[in-house]
Amino acid sequence: MQVYLDNNATTMVDPLVVQEMMPFFSDMYGNPNSLHKFGTASHPAISKAIDQVYKALNASDSDDIVFTSCATESNNWVLKSIFRDYVVNGDKNHIITTEVEHPSVYAACKALEEDGVKVTYLPVNSQGIVESHIVRSFITDKTALVSIMWASNETGMINPIKEIGEICKEKGVLFHTDAVQAVGKIPVDLQDVHVDFLSMSAHKFHGPKGIGALYIKNSQKLSPLLNGGEHMGGRRSGTLNVPYIVAMGKAIELATTNIEEKMASIKAKRDRLEDALLELSDTFVVGDREHRTPNTILISIKGVEGEGMLWDLNNGQIGASTGSACASEDLQANTVMLAIGADNELAHTGIRLSLSRFTTDGEIDYTITHFKKSVARLRAISSSFAKVGPTLGGEAKECELHFH
């Protein structure tokens, strides 16, 4: 058996999505901007895909949804164009974001700092959540944008986007959310929350890699990142990637239809896995389940290096992930774990397990068995665990971490 539990990194393309996109490679391959029938043949499919995305997000006709190459592009587009429109060509100089954003927001903010923008990186609480009152307290009349992810790729923790949106609206500040880990996993209703810009990516909900989108409320001002031909109403130049647009439409429709049922089914499997892993002594899961995407577990196993655990799981045909990227010389601690207050040792022990609607009960059973054996094996050879030993009466814990 092999088990893929890295669905926050990317997902399998749903075979129904593949089927939908195939005709647009070698059959209806014309450039949709061409006036002949080879070009116009794809128009109905493009319109259908656009409708599918609007419907899935409950966007209104006055809003724009623009296809991009990925969420990294969508995020960079918002940040760099806000800089251009409101800092260089306006009187603002401040952006608010968080310490735990994906690098496509975080590194873009760091780059803007070099161009003179003041950036506030908000902390998260011990659950890994950004508290809305903190957002309010940092907004000034110089703030051009608040950019806060809807749900975390590392922990799955869901931020109070509705509350933050209300605060931004009240203060007259633009609000962007990186919703890559929310769309297709939890309900996203753009009539219910106030969001000016929202980024998403198809490969996180069983569409292909290399296609994303940016939602723009009321088609408001945002200068283009890519200048060129008048594609997408001049908002994003580049010949339309028809097969991928069609695929994204189908994928979002499949992911969001009966989403409550899909969530319940994934959550039941996730909770069963989590309960079983928490039977191990000295284990912690970050964040309570109520505020977490239903597919995600970030678990810390005392005495077990994340990379060692990944290697052992990989040998057992289980694909998981750790936030602690392996830098050339040093193993880096998981920055999200550090942000929520974990000490350095614990920040090296995070393992992220992320399920999908294709994860089966048999795969969960297999993972539980293999995971427990791996922990026993690795703890037996772990010098740090051997030195301190298991905590007396060491209990497994969920939710808040108080390592200090």
Q: Phi and psi at residue 265, in whole multiples of 5°?
A: -70, -40
Contact between 9 and ligand 7TS (CB under 6 A)?
yes
Q: Which of 12, 19, 22 is nearest to 209 (CA)?
A: 12
Q: Which stretch binds ligand 7TS (CB under 6 A): 51-59, 70-78, 327-335, 359-367?
A: 70-78
Q: Which stretch binds ligand 7TS (CB under 6 A): 177-185, 246-254, 267-275, 395-403?
A: 177-185
Are residues 65 and 52 in contact, defined by beta-carbon separation less than 8 angstroms? no
Q: Which of 402, 124, 166 is nearest to 284 (CA)?
A: 402
List the 397-399 sheet strands across, edge first: 350-354, 296-301, 283-286, 397-399
Least separation, in Å, of the C-beta of 104 and ligand 7TS? 5
Q: Which of 7, 8, 256, 356 binds ligand 7TS (CB under 6 A)?
A: 8
Instruction: Check if 109 is active-site.
Output: no
Number of chain residues interacting with ligand 7TS (CB under 6 A): 14
Q: Is the dihedral of CA 255, 49, 9, 312 positive or negative?
A: positive
Retrieve residue 280's tokens. Answer: 């191990």
Binders of ligand 7TS among residues 252 to 281 (CB under 6 A) are: none
Contact between 324 and ligand 7TS (CB under 6 A)?
no
Q: Classify strands 212-216 and 64-68 as parallel, antiparallel or unpaired.
A: antiparallel
The distance of Cα 240 from the centroid of its chain, to the nearest Å, equals 24
Binders of ligand 7TS among residues 185 to 204 (CB under 6 A) are: 201
- Alpha-carbon dihedral angle through residues 170, 176, 179, 180, given to the nearest 10 degrees: -170
Least separation, in Å, of the C-beta of 385 and ligand 7TS? 27
Contact between 251 and ligand 7TS (CB under 6 A)?
no
Contact between 107 and ligand 7TS (CB under 6 A)?
no
Considering 109, 168, 326, 399, which one is annotated as catalytic? 326
Least separation, in Å, of the C-beta of 74 and ligand 7TS? 8
Contacts of 376 (CB under 8 A, 6+ apart): none
Q: Which of 21, 180, 298, 313 binds ligand 7TS (CB under 6 A)?
A: 180
Contact between 11 and ligand 7TS (CB under 6 A)?
no
- Contact residues for ligand 7TS, defined by CB under 6 A: 8-9, 70-72, 102, 104, 149, 153, 178, 180-181, 201, 212
Catalytically annotated residues: 326
